[in-house]
A and B are shown apart, each in its own frame.
Chain A
């Protein structure tokens, strides 16, 4: 029995009862939060897993094209054709609040109005493999951004779930039993004091009566 180091007084008892009530309510709420976060997290993780598999497959495809392109073009020519990019991806970041966890939302926009306007070179001296590589890379870009958003959300949510779980456990297994034990201890102590003063009173009353009427028959 873990009893807190407190004075067994009526005031302390009321205070502790109030604290216990808060702790129980907090525990219930945190447990709900944990469950809901967990549900959303698992949903998100499943989605992220599929998305990652898809993105990785597409990246591999694009990498293969690149390797082919570098096989048919000289390194200098390849580097030169990619040297001055036309495009610039801009990301607008906002945040969304999911059960008190801030998760990012990425909104992408391209610098040029035509998002298909990606080839930073003329077609005359480059391999078609390079075009394929860049097109496939460009196609994967929206998923790539979504993947970043999902994975970051997973990361933040898992950290929050861990924290919440710790709080729930500490409330459930440490704080609440401690409050309950202390309340029990104080109320027992108060009852004990009560009984002791009652017997004392009875004893005193006996003694007084004895003195006044001489019940015991002593002189």
Chain B
């Protein structure tokens, strides 16, 4: 079944994504973001859910449930306020988990 892409984040950051065919869920409160994430991830209409780094940081507990599942893929993206390096940290945490120590990002 064909699925869609969603993006959750502050209105400024996500606005543009609607033009290229991605469903946007603007929200500013972290509680609301967590609820939104749960709702749209459980609805199973989305294969990929992008989160701005702020939302990503605030929804650690909710994200845990989807870690082992094939879909949805929950991916952090930098917002308009600038890059906080969440994506890099996330990748490095994968390497650390698999290898035991970070051998890719340590330079």
Contact = CB atoms under 8 A, between A and B. Distances in A.
Interface of A: 38, 41-42, 45-46, 48-49, 52, 55-56, 59-60, 62-63, 66-67, 70, 78-79, 82, 85-93, 95, 102-104, 106, 109-111, 118-120, 133-134, 137-138, 141, 144-145, 147-149, 151-152, 154-159, 161-162
A137 B15 CA distance: 11
Nearest to B5: A89
A111 B45 CA distance: 16
Given A120-B19, A137-B20, A154-B91, A38 B80 contact: no
A92 B71 CA distance: 11
A148 B16 contact: no
B73 interface: yes
Nearest to A87: B21
Interface string B1-42: 011110000001101111111100000000000000000000
Contacts, number: 145
A59 B78 contact: yes
Closest 4 CB pairs of A and B: A87-B21, A152-B73, A89-B21, A158-B98
Contact of A89 (B22, B90, B99): B22
A148 B21 contact: no
Given A52-B88, A151-B75, A155-B94, A62 B16 contact: yes
25 contacts: A45-B91, A45-B94, A49-B88, A49-B91, A52-B91, A56-B83, A66-B12, A66-B16, A82-B18, A85-B21, A91-B4, A93-B3, A93-B70, A93-B71, A106-B47, A134-B20, A137-B20, A138-B20, A147-B75, A148-B75, A151-B73, A151-B75, A152-B73, A155-B94, A161-B99
Interface residues of B, number: 40
Interface in B43-100: 47-48, 50, 67-68, 70-71, 73, 75, 77-80, 82-83, 87-88, 90-91, 94-95, 97-99
B98 A157 contact: yes
B106 to A, nearest CB: 12
A34 B58 CA distance: 33
Contact of A162 (B18, B79, B98): B98
B17 A56 contact: no
Nearest to B17: A137
B20 A89 contact: yes
B69 to A, nearest CB: 9
B78 A87 contact: no
